[in-house]
Amino acid sequence: MKKILQLFLGILTAIGGFFDIGNLVTASQAGAAFRFQLLWALALGTLMVIFLVEMSGRFAAVTKKPIPCAVREHLGARVWLAPFVVLVVLHFLTLGAEIGGVAFALQLVTGISFQLWAIPVGILMWLFLWRATFDAIEYSTSTLGLIALCFVVAAVMYHPAKSDVLSGLLPSLPKQDAAKYWLYAVSIIGALIAPYMFYFYSSGAVEDEWDPTYLTVNRFVSVSGMAFGAVITGAVIVVAGLVLHPLSIGVDSINQTAFMLTGAFPFWGFALFAATMAIACVGASTEVGLSLAYTVAQTFGWNWGQSLEPKKDARFALTYTVAILLATLLMVLGIDPLKLTIYTMALNATVLPIVSIPFLLLMNDGHLMRQFRNGPIANAAAGIIVIISIVLFFVSIPLLIVGG
């Protein structure tokens, strides 16, 4: 019974935790510019993230060790140095974008500048992390995050042609704006496989004391949670493709996306959009803040755990405190959350090989993973992930320059 409850909560967490400002922005841009043509990038990214999340959960359940500790212990501190630096920078930028997302949602509703909102948002975020336990954070934000299902309802209510949606799932070449097309494809994948996602998932599994009996739960959660989450992101592409694309509206500002739901929900559409954006970004920013603190604490061997009182893991708590303060400052200084999101998502794609290859190597370590190490299917998927991530490493930055 406990496992069934955990399965349900896990799927809920995965759905709610999947959707954030990165998915919202990249999916809106893709739908607005290329209608449904980039749905294949979402499908590809989802398959990749399902495998990575499943592996990170399996790794935590079998070894009971977080990824940073294991990489440091088994591959050496030097191997972990580059992924560590990259992860800290990326977590920080993502945290800034998510705090900016919450502040921007509040600006939509109140008309007060997001720069002013960033300060109370940062303080509330910190208080939430300081006071709440891991489960409270995980389940409250994820349950509220289900509000994002309004995009799925809207997509159904707008009656897209099924054949058009299905044909978008097949990769196709762009008729024009090739650089922009590939940049958006890379950004969608970058938003889906944000490294914080599988590092957070793995640390959460260690906090929840998973053991090999949780492997079935892990498999169901990673497959169904990520797949349902992808359906929400796909719905954003469809809604943007049906509302913004026919009017030739490109997404150069988040303001240009806020009316996407008003055709389906005339009086609630705007409020639903703002609420979805705020809740999704609150959920993601708590996860990113924690994931950053986990990564730093696990790297240096400090006490860590959101279920501990801050006085028992002071350096862990100090890490997320400083990160939230600095990320809030980014927004106070007036950095555009949309631009920050676009750059961060492209960077996510760029650094994927650096952060994923050491972990994928450990998944094949028979001494560490015993009979639970990667089988042929998981290894084939890992091989494809590595190849795609190396391609992304080389193309992301040039695409950002040419297509951005």
Partner 1 sequence: MQIRHWLGSLVLVAIAGCKSDTRREAERVDASLSWVATAGTVTKGWVENRLPVRYVERVLGEAHEELARNDEAEGVRIVETLRDAVRRRDAAATREPMASLLARWSALQQRSEQMKSQ
Contact stretch for partner 1 (CB under 8 A) within 191-199, 219-227, 265-273, 328-336: 265-273
d(CA 351, CA 389): 8
Map the footprint of partner 1 across residues 70-109, applying CB under 8 A.
108-109
| Cβ neighbours of residue 322 closer than 8 Å, sequence gap 6 or more | none
3-state secondary structure of 354: helix
* 267 near partner 1 (CB under 8 A): yes
Shortest distance, CB of residue 278 to partner 1, whole angstroms? Answer: 15
Q: Which is nearer to partner 1, 114 or 210 (CB)?
A: 114
* 115 near partner 1 (CB under 8 A): no
Site string for partner 1, 340-379 (x = CB under 8 A): ----------------------------------------
From the list 172, 216, 255, 307, which residue makes contact with partner 1 (rule: CB under 8 A)?
A: 255
d(CA 239, CA 256): 13
Shortest distance, CB of residue 36 to partner 1, whole angstroms? Answer: 19
Q: Which is nearer to partner 1, 336 or 365 (CB)?
A: 336
Map the footprint of partner 1 across residues 122-181, applying CB under 8 A.
176
Amino acid symbol at 227 = A
Shortest distance, CB of residue 249 to partner 1, whole angstroms? Answer: 5
* 111 near partner 1 (CB under 8 A): yes
Q: How far is CA 43 from CA 69, 380, 388, in A?
A: 31, 17, 14
DSSP per-residue letters across 211-259: -GGGHHHHHHIIIIIHHHHHHHHHHHHHHHHHHTGGGT---SSGGGGTT
Amino acid symbol at 11 = I
| Cβ neighbours of residue 368 closer than 8 Å, sequence gap 6 or more | 62, 63, 70, 74, 362
Contact stretch for partner 1 (CB under 8 A) within 86-94, 263-271, 316-324, 354-362: 263-271
Map the footprint of partner 1 across residues 16-55, applying CB under 8 A.
none
d(CA 351, CA 359): 13
Contacts 24+ apart (CB under 8 A), 266-275: 269/154, 270/108, 271/109, 272/147, 272/150, 273/108, 274/105, 274/106, 274/108, 274/109, 275/105, 275/147
From the list 212, 250, 305, 310, which residue makes contact with partner 1 (rule: CB under 8 A)?
A: 250
* 396 near partner 1 (CB under 8 A): no
Q: Which is nearer to partner 1, 6 or 262 (CB)?
A: 262
Shortest distance, CB of residue 25 to partner 1, whole angstroms? Answer: 16
Total of residues contacting partner 1 (CB under 8 A): 23
Q: How far is CA 182 from CA 38, 238, 378, in A?
A: 9, 18, 27
* 398 near partner 1 (CB under 8 A): yes
Q: How far is CA 222 from CA 15, 309, 331, in A?
A: 10, 29, 33
* 394 near partner 1 (CB under 8 A): no
Shortest distance, CB of residue 270 to partner 1, whole angstroms? Answer: 5
Shortest distance, CB of residue 367 to partner 1, whole angstroms? Answer: 40
Q: Which is nearer to partner 1, 177 or 309 (CB)?
A: 177
* 269 near partner 1 (CB under 8 A): yes
Cα 402 → chain centroid:
25
Q: Which is nearer to partner 1, 130 or 268 (CB)?
A: 268
Helix (H) or strand (E) holding 149: none
Shortest distance, CB of residue 165 to partner 1, whole angstroms? Answer: 23
Angle separating helix axes 114-131 and 269-300, nearest 10 degrees: 50
Report the interface residues with partner 1, using CB under 8 A.
Answer: 108-111, 176, 247-250, 252-253, 255-256, 258-259, 262, 266-267, 269-270, 398, 401-402
